Amino acid sequence: MHFFTSFAKRPFLLLFTVLILSLIFVLSIANNAVLETDLDEYMPKTHPAFMASDKAESLFGIKDAILIVVEHPEGIYNSGTIEKIDAITVALQEEFDAIESVTSLTTADNIKSDDGFLEVEPFYSGKTSQAAISQMQAEVEANPMIYGRNVSKDGTATLIIAELNNDIDADVLQTWVTQWEGPEKLMVAGRPVVEGALAELGPKDMAIMFPLVIITMIILLFLLLRSVRDTVLNMVIVLFGTLVSFGLMTLLNIPIYAVDTMIPVMLIAIGVAYGIHMHNTIHHFMRSYPDLSKEELATLSLKQMVRPIIMTAITTAIGFVALMSSQVLPVRYFGLFAAIGVLSEMLLALLLFPASIYLLGKPKYKKAKADFETQREKGTLSDTLQALLLHRPKMIVFISIAVLIIGVWGTSKVWIDTSFLANFEEDSTIAQTDQFVNSNFGGTSTLNIILNGDEPDLFKHPEVLLAMDSMQEDLEKDPIVGNTLSLATFIKQMNQVMLEHEDGSYSIPDSQELVSQYLLLYEFSGDPETLEQVVDYEYTSANITVQLKSDSSAVLKDILAVVDYYRPVFAEHAIEITYAGSGYKAFIFSELLLEGQIISLAISFAIIIILLALMFKNLRIGVVGTVPIAITAVVNFGVMGLLGIPLSSATALITSIAIGIGVDYAIHFLEHYTNERLGGSSLEQATRSTLRHTGRAIIFNAIAVMGGFAILMFSVFPPNRQVGALIVLNMATSALGTLTILVVLVHYLEKKHVFLPKRILDNNTRSFS
């Protein structure tokens, strides 16, 4: 308290300090800011699932791949298109260092029978005469390992698969591909493309939307506060908070991760509240005691607000700090720096408003008449509200319970899902290409099922191969599975060819010798490296590649359930099942993220209850104070469930933060109310005064934040729309919950004389902490 009053008395020193700090942070951001878009950097690399995946990826050469679709409406089987495919295949490998290998129709090998000969030869002979191409078409259509997988069944499109050993700039590739257009149409798909676009689009869109949010907020603040000065102060506070957060991040050489683009959004929503409450209190004193001196006004308003503002800042910061329990490094940084931003906003709000009084004199709130009218109107509004609350408490309780029941019912319908693709509009190029690939080929997403045994030659056992085959068959029953490929697939194809396509020959032979001899034969006549993608050198581990037509984590879970069913079967052969691939890692990652957020949500709830209880020296107040945010959480999840918005790491993040913000309303209400009561007001008087005074600030705050973030709902980027919508929803619920059910509950407890014990009511002095 002393710190704030004495510092606020030196406004020039304060301004100087803020300016110098801002300058340092701006310079640091300008010089050191590095945007980290590589999703791998988010992954907790020491997690067992990740380590198993990395090991298998290196053993079987599993790599992320970019898919280039070559489509010719009249069919790809013509010399021009085939030659073009060949040229692209060669050029990709030569021109991009990040591309490890390229597989296309002109490089793929065929296992075929030709008058009883076993041949493993490329489909493409290098000849493009009509006869050669027709033969190639016939061979493609006879081999299920490529037909419908790399070549569309109607013969109008094929895939060129570029495996990456490094990240590639998807934009550069998109542009590069256009030079090959005509008459063929070329499209680029695959996880690296989607991730790249996502990592770029999110921050880019936020950069466009953010100034719009700020402008809207400025307009709303000005309309609500009717003071240029206080609007400016508010914006200085929120921008300074953002600056501190990013400035420190860059000073410490921590890269800016995509999730950090949420920080400015959060800090604006939070910081505005501190300024509005300061404004509101100063405004209140000015109206009640117009004759106060500058110094008295500054000291009084500071004295009244220092406790609730520090408390609200701490509870919010705790919501963020709780994120540091996450296993995901960027989320931990996000929590830390957002908390730092919140605390600096709090400091600045407490300093800047009193300092402005010292520097610029008492604020002359303009349009005093209009303001008075508004005030009276608000007064009547709050009086009406009070009347409603006090006379119809049962109705409020009933409505609240009804909302809760609907919320819980909706929550039960919430489904957990993370999908990179869901972030794109259905008519966007990325979503459309993905759709095209999924309907014509195996699918854009890949899951690798890794079978680990320890006995050499284990995967030559017919029983093991049969189990693999039957699992693959079960997996393929799911329409979301495009196809599967494993050693069993190779063996079946070889058996069919060797038995000259006799009935039932597309199957696993029942002798290990035969399997071994087929494999030997394949090794001799084919490219032995192809086999190394499905089985290791000693035949102790195998890789089943499952192509999926969706990257949704919910879909992946269904697939994993089918695999789990086979665990005991493989366990009989001492084979363990693990998974690999970037799709699986992203799945584990989002599960971890979600789990972390739900844990941190629980942690912040518990800490908020304890803090409130300590602050008001009463556990019941602690519990009652969290009722509005509990309702907020239930409504949030309920609405998500009812509207079919999946719970993803992003939406869970917003929820946990909204709750940290929402509790502030309850703190302000309870603080003012208990102060009134301690000041000797009656129950009704205290309620009226609190609703008039704090209620106004809460509504102003909610309107400004909701208005600002409503702008995000017009974003072209769906995830940013969800962020906007959820913030608006949560702000509204928190404000409404605080001003209705919290008031009713406090009243009820007061009547039972359990809310503020006589002991506390007797003790009129309270220390500021």
Partner 1 sequence: MRTHTTKRLSVLTLLITFVLLTVSAATPSGSEIMWEVYNRDSGETMSANLIMTITNARGAVRERSIAQYRMDKDGVESKLMFFLSPSDVRNTSFLSFSYEDGRSDDQYIYLPAIKRVKRIASTSKNDSFMGSDFTYDDMGSRHPDLDVHKVLRKETIDGVSTLVVESIAKGDEDYPRTLSWIVDGQWFGLKKEFYLPDGTRGRTLTIDSYEEIDGIYVITDMTMRNLEGNTSTRIRMEDVEFNLDFNDNFFSERQMKIGPRR
* Residues near partner 1, by CB under 8 A: 59, 114, 116-119, 121, 457, 460, 498, 509, 511-514, 516-518, 520-521, 523-525, 528-529, 532, 536-538
> Nearest distance from residue 461's CB to partner 1, in Å?
10
- Left, alpha or beta for 501 (phi > 0: left; psi -120 to 50: alpha)? left
Q: How far apart are CA 727 and CA 263, in angstroms?
A: 13
| Minimum CB–partner distance for residue 42 and partner 1 (Å) | 29
Report the C-alpha gap between 720 and 654 in whole angstroms.
11
Give the chain's length: 769
| In the complex, least distance from residue 482 CB atom to partner 1, rounded to whole angstroms | 30
Task: Tell me which residue of 265, 176, 184 sits closest to 217, measured CA to CA.
Answer: 265
The smaller minimum CB distance to partner 1, of residues 362 and 461, is found at 461
Contact 321, 604 (CB under 8 A): no
In whole angstroms, how close is the CB of 502 to partner 1 at the nearest point?
A: 12
- As measured in angstroms, the least distance from the Cβ of 464 to partner 1 is 14
Residue with structure tokens 């005691």? 289
Q: What's the number of CA atoms in the CB half-sphere (13 Å) around residue 431? A: 12
38 or 119: CB nearest partner 1: 119
Residue closer to partner 1 (CB basis): 121 or 296: 121
CA 344 to chain CA centroid, nearest Å: 26
CA distances from 615 to 63, 192, 209, 307, 749 (A): 55, 50, 38, 9, 18
**Residue placing its CB nearer to partner 1 in the complex, 377 or 510:** 510
Question: What span, in angstroms and rounded, lies between the C-alpha atoms of 549 and 766?
Answer: 63
Strands (E), 572-656: 576-580
Whole-angstrom distance, CA of residue 75 vs CA of residue 500:
29
Pick the closer one to partner 1 by CB: 459 or 616.
Answer: 459
Token pair in block for residue 350: 């407490």
CB of 261 to partner 1, least distance (A): 41
Chain centroid to CA 213: how far? Answer: 20
User: Could you tell me the smallest distance in angstroms from the CB atom of residue 509 to partner 1?
Assistant: 8
Alpha-carbon distance of 197 to 388, in angstroms, equals 52
Q: Which lies closer to partner 1 via its Cβ, residue 460 or residue 672?
A: 460
Least Å from the CB of residue 496 to partner 1: 13
Tell me the closest approach of the beta carbon of residue 415 to partner 1, in angstroms. 41
Residue 147 DSSP class = B
Q: Quote the least distance from Cβ 528 to partner 1, whole Å.
A: 5
| 394, burial (CB in 10 Å: exposed 0-12, middle 13-18, buried 19+) | exposed
Report the residue number, 422 or 531, with the smaller CB distance to partner 1. Answer: 531
DSSP 366: S
* Greatest CA separation for the chain: 108
* Minimum distance of partner 1 from residue 457's CB (angstroms): 7
269 within 8 A of 275, measured Cβ to Cβ = no
CA dist 364 and 74 (Å) reads 76
Q: What angle do CA 427, 428, 432 make, to 5 degrees?
A: 75
Rg (CA), the chain: 32
Choose between 167 and 457: whose C-beta lies nearer to partner 1.
457
Nearest alpha-carbon partner for 481 in 425, 427, 541, 560: 560
Minimal distance in Å, beta carbon 511 to partner 1?
Answer: 5
Nearer to partner 1, 514 or 554 (CB): 514
Hey, how many other C-beta atoms are within 10 angstroms of the C-beta on 278?
Answer: 26
Which residue, 55 or 362, has its beta carbon nearer to partner 1?
55
* Phi-psi group of 232: left, alpha or beta (phi > 0 → left; psi -120 to 50 → alpha; rest → beta): alpha
CA angle 480, 484, 490 (to 5 degrees): 165
Minimum CB–partner distance for residue 113 and partner 1 (Å): 10
Of 526 and 737, the one with the shorter C-beta distance to partner 1 is 526
DSSP 3-state of 757: coil
Cβ-based nearer residue to partner 1, 118 or 598: 118
Residue with tokens 């600030």: 697
Give CA torsion, residues 704, 708, 710, 715, to 10 deg: 180
Q: Whose Cβ is closer to partner 1: residue 324's or residue 514's? A: 514
Q: Which is nearer to partner 1, 12 or 524 (CB)?
A: 524
CA distances from residue 279 to 300, 304, 371, 599, 701 in whole angstroms, order as listed: 13, 12, 14, 36, 11
DSSP strands (E only) in 376-513: 445-452, 481-485
- Least distance in angstroms from the C-beta of 527 to partner 1: 8
In whole angstroms, what is the distance from residue 187 CA to residue 432 CA? 10
Pick between residue 94 and residue 564 the one whose CB is nearest to partner 1.
94
Whichever of 424 and 539 has its CB closer to partner 1, that residue is: 539
φ, ψ (nearest 5 deg) of residue 719:
-60, -35
| C-alpha distances in Å from residue 65, one per residue of 61, 188, 542, 543, 652 | 12, 11, 20, 17, 30
Closest approach, Cβ 503 to partner 1, in A, equals 17
Return the residue matching tokens 């619920």: 733
CB 517 to partner 1: min, Å: 4
**Least spacing, CB of residue 519 vs partner 1, in Å:** 8
Single-letter code of the amino acid located at 169: D
Between 209 and 464, whose beta carbon lies closer to partner 1? 464
